[in-house]
Amino acid sequence: MIQCAYMSTIFEQIIAGDIPANKIYEDGQTFAFLDANPVNPGHTLVIPKEPYKNIETVPEDLLTAVMQTVKFLAPQIQTAVKADGFNIHENNGTVAGQVVPHLHFHIIPRFEGDDFEHWHGAEDYHDGKAGEEIAARISRSL
C-alpha cells in the first residue's frame, strides 16, 4: 500500500465509520456509498479501501476490483431507482474536478429530461490535420 502524504481523507473516515454515510456495498477491497451531494437519486461513489490518490497510482489488480464493483452495482442501482441509464465518471486531478484525493468512481443514474449536461467539445477534428497530430503525439508517448 502506498502511504499518502496527506491526512486521512473523508473517504477513509467513512470507511472507518468515523463519518456517517449511506453504505450500499462493501467487500474486501472496495466500498460503495451514496454521494452526499447527488446529481440524481442513487448517485453512488465506489472507492478502493486503500487510499490511492488517483487512477495513476492505484495498482492494476485493485483497479480491476474497483471496476468489478462498479460493473456489478451500476445496473443494480439503475433498476433500484428506475433510471433510464447511467454514467460512470472518474475525475483525475483537481483541474478535472477531483475534490477528494482518494480514487473514486461515480455511478450517476440518468433520467430522461434530468438536465444533467455533458461536456462540450472544444475543437473538432473535421479537417483531419489536428486529429492526426494529436493522435501521433499520444502514440509517441506510449
CATH of residue 42's domain is 3.30.428.10
Q: What is the mean pLDDT of residues 16-34?
A: 97
92: domain range? Answer: 10-141
pLDDT at 4: 46
- Count of domains forming the chain: 1
The set of cell numbers assigned to 19 is 463519518
**Among the listed residues 18, 21, 39, the one whose alpha carbon sits nearest the alpha carbon of residue 31:** 21
In a domain, 4, yes or no: no
Q: What is the mean pLDDT of residues 58-70?
A: 98
pLDDT at 129: 83
In a domain, 53, yes or no: yes
**What's the whole-number average pLDDT of the chain?**
91
In a domain, 3, yes or no: no
Q: How far apart are the first and last CA of the chain?
A: 26
* Residue 13, H or E segment: helix 10-16
Render pLDDT for 102-142 as a digit per residue (tens, 0 to 9): 999 999 999 999 988 877 776 677 777 888 888 899 899 99
In a domain, 5, yes or no: no
Whole-angstrom distance, CA of residue 116 vs CA of residue 119 = 10
CA angle 91, 92, 93 (to 5 degrees): 115
pLDDT at 7: 62
In a domain, 109, yes or no: yes
Q: Over 90: is that where the pLDDT of 3 sits?
A: no
Residue 106 near residue 87 (C-beta atoms within 8 A):
yes
Residue 73 near residue 109 (C-beta atoms within 8 A):
no
pLDDT band of residue 6 (cuts 50, 70, 90) is very low
pLDDT at 74: 98
The verdict on whether 104 is a catalytic residue reads yes
Which DSSP string do the residues of 73-85 spell out, in sequence order?
Answer: HHHHHHHHHT-SE
Catalytic site residue from 43, 104, 118, 120: 104
In a domain, 1, yes or no: no
Q: Over 70: is that where the pLDDT of 26 sits?
A: yes
Q: What is the mean pLDDT of residues 26-41?
A: 97
In a domain, 89, yes or no: yes
Least confident of 26-30, 68-72, 113-117, 121-125: 121-125
In a domain, 43, yes or no: yes
